[in-house]
């Protein structure tokens, strides 16, 4: 499952550029950038990105395990990552996520904020291109995997865009939203395509759907009982205002609370499941079982999504950071 070849880095600029770019398609990016937009830019922009991201990633992950196209052979390529090597290759979900997030952010903001259209388009293109190229550099995908992922994501964006506002309105106002947001993702996770061997795709999919479910319930709750959901947090992009100190304070306090929530919920849920199914919480094989992995990941990350959209804004208001 690890790297199968030794290698020597001859160009550290490309090495660190593409290692960093690859990280832009992983959990560490999702758990920082998506909440940042909610706390500091615009609620509606964040909601639309999360909706698109969850749908695109679910389709991408399921497609991998249905198509079962292998990753590039090593040798001849050198694989610079270990964990995702257990997954199939087609389509590249890094390419899908990068395309979906960058262009949904561009589309959602271009009519709300004043900035050059060409600049926004180039920024979205550069972001998604860097992530796509990183998958080739790290040896994790073929050119076809990357192109396929980007095209699938682009098609899904085109199909979802006309229904964007309708979906957003229903998720904010429908009395069935909390039930729908929890039950549908759980059903999808428990009925995820089965493989002959363990792959992290089911766990990653549960993480994504869980986070989106918790955030969606938070959006609905805020719209029902808190400030109007369509109200922007800031009158414009925070990086060009004098309120930078508030932006950074909101971000760092929020991230600390989110990470603390993840740690606490992970420990509690694993402890409960370990007691119920009689396994030590550090037993990796037991944690990979369906009846353990799905509730553990879903409850943990739905709590993270809910905390980011409800608890953290309340804390910001309490501390006078709004």
* CA angle (9, 13, 15) in 5-degree steps: 45
Closest to 222 in 3D by CA, of 301, 317, 314: 314
Contacts of 62 (CB under 8 A, 6+ apart): 192, 193, 205
Q: What is the DSSP letter of 73?
A: P
Contacts of 14 (CB under 8 A, 6+ apart): 137
Assigned token pair, 82: 């270990």
94 is annotated as an active-site residue: yes
Contacts 24+ apart (CB under 8 A), 268-276: 269/295, 269/296, 269/299, 269/300, 270/296
**Helix boundaries (H) for the chain:** 12-23, 27-40, 43-67, 93-109, 117-137, 143-160, 164-173, 177-190, 201-225, 244-277, 284-287, 290-306, 312-318
Distances (CA, A) of 216 to 4, 109, 209, 223, 310: 41, 20, 10, 11, 10
- Distance between CA 211 and CA 254 in Å, rounded? 15
* CA angle (174, 165, 107) in 5-degree steps: 145
Assigned token pair, 136: 């080739």
State the sign of the Cα–Cα–Cα–Cα dihedral 154, 98, 104, 115: negative
Of the listed 141, 169, 282, 316, which one is catalytic? 141
Give the catalytic positions in this structure: 94, 141
């Amino acid at each position: 499952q690890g790297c199968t070849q030794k290698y020597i880095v001859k160009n550290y600029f490309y090495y660190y550029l593409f290692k960093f770019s690859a990280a832009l398609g992983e959990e560490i990016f999702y758990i920082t950038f998506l909440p940042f937009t909610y706390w500091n830019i615009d609620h509606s922009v964040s909601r639309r990105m999360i909706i698109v991201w969850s749908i695109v990633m679910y389709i991408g992950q399921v497609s991998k395990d249905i198509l079962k196209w292998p990753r590039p052979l090593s040798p001849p390529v050198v694989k610079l990552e270990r964990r995702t090597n257990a997954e199939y290759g087609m389509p590249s979900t890094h390419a899908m996520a990068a395309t979906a997030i960058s262009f949904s952010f561009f589309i959602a903001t271009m009519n709300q904020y004043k900035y050059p259209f060409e600049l926004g388009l180039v920024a979205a293109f550069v972001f998604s291109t860097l992530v796509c190229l990183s998958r080739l550099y790290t040896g994790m995908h073929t050119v076809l995997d990357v192109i396929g992922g980007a095209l699938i994501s682009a098609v899904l964006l085109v199909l979802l865009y006309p229904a964007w506002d309708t979906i957003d309105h229903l998720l904010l106002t429908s009395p069935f939203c909390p039930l729908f947001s929890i039950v549908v993702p759980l059903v999808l996770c428990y009925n995820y395509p089965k493989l002959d061997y363990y792959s992290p795709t089911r766990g990653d999919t549960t993480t994504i759907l869980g986070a989106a479910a918790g955030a969606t319930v938070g959006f609905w709750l805020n719209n029902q009982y808190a400030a109007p959901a369509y109200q922007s947090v800031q009158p414009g992009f925070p990086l060009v205002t004098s309120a930078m100190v508030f932006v950074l304070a909101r971000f760092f306090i929020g991230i600390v609370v989110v990470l603390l929530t993840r740690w606490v919920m992970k420990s509690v849920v694993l402890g409960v499941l370990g007691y119920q199914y009689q396994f030590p919480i550090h037993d990796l094989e037991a944690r990979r079982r369906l009846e353990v992995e799905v509730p553990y990941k879903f409850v943990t990350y739905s709590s993270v999504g809910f905390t980011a959209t409800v608890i953290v804004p309340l804390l910001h208001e309490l501390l006078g950071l709004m």
